[in-house]
């Protein structure tokens, strides 16, 4: 190899490595630049006279645009909790059931239809899902349950649940299929019925993977924006009642950042919410990814 070629090669290979390092770099950059815009809450006296950390976490009213703006994150926190809980309760059984069906019961041809079908569901843009919940699902649910508020936490929660079904399904399905065939054969050899093999052997072994799918779904439900913005009614009510209009962290940012004055208290608080969302989802995803990693290593050891 000529000297010039060797130099070009090492430059190009350095570029490859830098591109991969970009992922790590971006994680830090995202946190720094969102936190930077939220910093006035801690440092700027003008902002601190309007809101301090105690107001954010202890008071109970979110009323950012008024003569006496009030910035309590509590109703938003409860809203986010309520919505993601409903989404998870709706999505987990469905996704898990579907994953068990594809991994254990479905004939091959059916399996080859179910998986792409669920990928199609994953491909539906969240704004479309949100519009569907806003225009159709909400009316149907109201017709059944007779709620006074047409847009509420259940409506948005179900739409959110549909959006996270593919996430939970695909991770759970991977986990179930990663269980070595020998485990199943051993269970059958000991005289297990199919359901005994599934519930006593396969699911317990795949449990870390299933848990990871659940966590990734939860992370997505907490951060998902457009569905909540369109389908939840967006009222910041301090209540756990699922039939009331509900506002989440993510939807609050989406609804309010457009009209906010750059550098104002409200602006800083919205970025603070963003930083909070980033940290919460980061921790949830980190746990999920570490669990998956360990699960793979462990199964690689026995297979």
Identify which of residues 72 and 250 has a Cβ nearer to another protein in the complex: 250
**Closer CB to another protein, residue 49 or residue 181?**
181
Q: How far is the CB of 66 from another protein (least distance, A)?
A: 22
Min. distance of Cβ 20 from another protein in angstroms?
4
**Is the CB of 239 or the CB of 264 nearer to another protein?**
264
Q: Which is nearer to another protein, 78 or 162 (CB)?
A: 162
The CB-of-224 to another protein minimum distance in angstroms stands at 7
Q: Which residues of 243-268 are buried (b: 16+ CB within 10 A; e: fewer)?
A: bbbbbbbbbbbbebeeebeeebbbbb
CB nearer to another protein: pick between 68 and 108: 108
**Nearest residue (CB) to another protein, 53 versus 290:** 290
CB of 195 to another protein, least distance (A): 5
CB of 216 to another protein, least distance (A): 7
DSSP assignment of the chain equals --HHHHHHHHHHHHHHHHHHHHHHHHHHHHHHHHHHHHTHHHH-HHHHHH--HHHHHH---EE-SSSS-EE-SHHHHHHHHHHHHHHHHHHHHHHHHHHHIIIIIS-HHHHHHHHHHHHHHHHS-HHHHHHHIIIIIHHHHHHHH--S-SS-HHHHHHHHHHHHHHHHHHHHHHHHHHS-HHHHHHHHHTT--HHHIIIIIIHHHHHHHHHHHHHHHHHHHHH--HHHHHHSB--------TTS-B--HHHHHHHHGGGSPTTSHHHHHHHHHHHHHHHHHHHHHHHHHHHHHHHHHHHHHH-
Report in angstroms how near the CB of residue 118 gets to another protein at its nearest.
7
Toward another protein, which CB reaches closer, 58 or 286? 286
Report the candidate in 103, 129, 135, 126 with the shortest Cα–Cα distance to residue 213: 103
Instruction: Give min distance, CB of 49 to another protein, in A.
Output: 24
């Amino acid at each position: 190899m000529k000297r010039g070629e060797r130099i070009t090669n090492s430059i190009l290979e350095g570029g490859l490595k830098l591109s991969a390092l970009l992922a790590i770099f971006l994680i830090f950059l995202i946190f720094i630049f969102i936190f930077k815009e939220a910093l006035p809450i801690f440092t700027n006296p003008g902002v601190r006279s309007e809101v301090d950390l105690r107001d954010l976490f202890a008071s109970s009213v979110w009323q950012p645009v008024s003569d006496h703006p009030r910035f309590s994150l509590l109703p938003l926190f409860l809203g986010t909790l309520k919505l993601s809980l409903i989404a998870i309760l709706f999505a987990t059984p469905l996704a898990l059931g579907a994953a068990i069906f594809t991994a254990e019961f479905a004939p091959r041809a059916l399996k080859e239809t179910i998986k792409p079908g669920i990928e199609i569901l994953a491909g539906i843009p969240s704004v479309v899902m949100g519009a569907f919940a806003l225009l159709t699902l909400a009316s149907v649910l109201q017709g059944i349950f007779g709620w006074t508020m047409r847009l509420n936490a259940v409506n948005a929660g179900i739409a959110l649940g549909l959006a996270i079904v593919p996430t939970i399904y695909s991770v759970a399905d991977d986990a179930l299929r990663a269980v070595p065939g020998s485990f199943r054969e051993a269970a059958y050899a000991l005289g297990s019925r199919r359901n005994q093999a599934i519930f006593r052997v396969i699911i317990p072994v795949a449990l870390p993977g299933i848990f990871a799918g659940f966590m990734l779904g939860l992370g997505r439900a907490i951060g998902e924006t457009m569905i909540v913005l369109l389908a939840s009614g967006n009222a910041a009510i301090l209540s756990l009642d699922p039939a009331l209009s509900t506002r989440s962290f993510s939807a609050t940012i989406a609804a309010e950042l457009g009209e906010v004055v750059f550098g104002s208290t409200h602006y800083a608080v919205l970025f603070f919410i963003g930083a909070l969302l980033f940290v919460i989802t980061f921790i949830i995803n980190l746990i999920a990814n570490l669990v998956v990693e360990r699960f793979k290593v462990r199964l690689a050891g026995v297979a």
